[in-house]
């Protein structure tokens, strides 16, 4: 099939960008969306043109490196799927598809569809860890954790940090990401000793990176490829209130 792409092209962070139209011929349904972009790039390189810059790594939906806003939807039209897991069987011959980068002040565009998501790393570094002495491995049964708590923590830990929540949020807020990271520790005994310090530091870092404020629109949950629930944001708000009221 033939697909017409309107792709955001931008030379660097400061250059103005624009949508550029490309025709991609010979697309087959089995191709992933990224393989279709690969095909476009092979042609562009063969023609001596600058290929479209975009991010990806594992291409199996677990690393969180691929991004893209496709026809106005972060990671494209599928539910709970990353862009690399989107396949061309979703499209029909002659479709026109607009491809843009994740847009947020905190995610500056590097080139074309590549954005710099290191703001997430800095938020994580502000408190998204547990301070422990790495000595001998302790007995796995020394700390008992109820199964349902463990499940909830695992669900939060499923976040791959791709940034789709920020891209989809009308306010470019990072609350779902921070909520997942805060929750995964707050739910487990190992994370509890530092819970106040952690939530205060991560919220502070989040605001400093220039993310917007959450107004509970829930587009983040709808866009999340890992199905992270907004109940985590409620937990984050709870943790934050608790810390703001009790920590010294």
Partner 1 sequence: MVAAAGLLLCGFLAAHLLGNLLMFAGGGAFNAYAEALEHNPLLPLAEIGLVALFVLHIILSVRATVINRAARPEGYRVYRGKGARTPGSRTMALTGTLILVFIVVHVATFKFDLGGLKGPDLYGHVLGWFANPWYAAFYVLAVGGVGLHLSHGAQSAIQTFGVSHPRYTPLLKTAGLGFAFLIFLGFASLPVYFGFVQKRQACCTGGAHS
> Which residues sit at the interface with ligand HEM, rule CB under 6 A?
215-216
d(CA 39, CA 47): 13
Task: Judge residue 197's burial from the number of C-beta atoms within 10 Å of its C-beta, 0-12 exposed, 13-18 middle, 19 or more buried.
Answer: middle
| DSSP 8-state secondary structure symbol assigned to residue 16 | -
Buried b (16+ CB within 10 A) or exposed e, 45-60: eeeeeeebbbbbeebe
Indicate which of ligand FES, ligand HEM, partner 1, none lies near residue 152 (CB less than 5 to 8 Å, by partner kind).
none
Indicate which of ligand HEM, partner 1, ligand FES, none lies near residue 84 (CB less than 5 to 8 Å, by partner kind).
ligand FES
Task: Write out the binding residues for ligand FES, residues 18-77 only, by CB under 6 A.
Answer: 56-59, 61-66
Among 103, 194, 197, 200, binds partner 1 (CB under 8 A): 103
Size of the site for partner 1 (CB under 8 A): 43
Q: Could you give the string, one character per residue 150-169, with x where binding to partner 1 holds by CB under 8 A and - elsewhere?
A: ------------------x-
Q: Tokens 């917007």, residue?
A: 212
Q: Which of 101, 110, 81 is nearest to 37 (CA)?
A: 101
Q: Which is nearer to ligand HEM, 160 or 175 (CB)?
A: 175
Footprint of partner 1 on this chain (CB under 8 A)? 6, 8, 19, 69, 71-73, 79, 98, 100, 103-106, 168, 170-173, 210-219, 221-223, 230-231, 233-241
């Amino acid at each position: 099939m033939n697909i017409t792409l309107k792709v955001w092209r931008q030379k660097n962070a400061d250059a103005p960008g624009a949508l550029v139209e490309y025709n991609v011929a010979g697309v087959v349904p089995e191709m992933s969306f990224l393989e279709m972009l690969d095909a476009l790039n092979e042609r562009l390189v063969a023609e001596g043109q600058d290929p479209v810059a975009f991010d990806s790594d594992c291409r199996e939906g677990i690393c969180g490196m691929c991004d893209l806003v496709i026809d106005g939807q972060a990671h494209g039209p599928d539910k709970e799927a990353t862009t690399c897991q989107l396949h061309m069987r979703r499209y029909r011959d002659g479709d026109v598809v607009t491809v843009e980068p994740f847009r947020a002040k905190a995610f500056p565009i590097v080139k074309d569809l590549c954005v710099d998501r290191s703001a997430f790393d800095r938020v994580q570094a502000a408190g998204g860890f547990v301070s422990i002495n790495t000595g001998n491995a302790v007995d796995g049964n020394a700390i008992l954790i109820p199964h349902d708590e463990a499940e909830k923590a695992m669900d939060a830990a499923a976040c791959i940090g791709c940034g789709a929540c920020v891209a989809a949020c009308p306010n470019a807020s990072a609350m779902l990401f921070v909520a997942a990271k805060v929750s995964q520790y707050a739910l487990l005994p190992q994370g509890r000793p530092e819970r106040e310090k952690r939530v205060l530091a991560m919220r502070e870092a989040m605001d400093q990176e220039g993310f917007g404020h959450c107004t509970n629109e829930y587009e983040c949950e709808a866009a999340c490829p890992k199905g992270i629930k907004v109940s985590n944001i409620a937990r984050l708000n709870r943790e934050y209130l608790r810390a703001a009221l009790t920590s010294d």
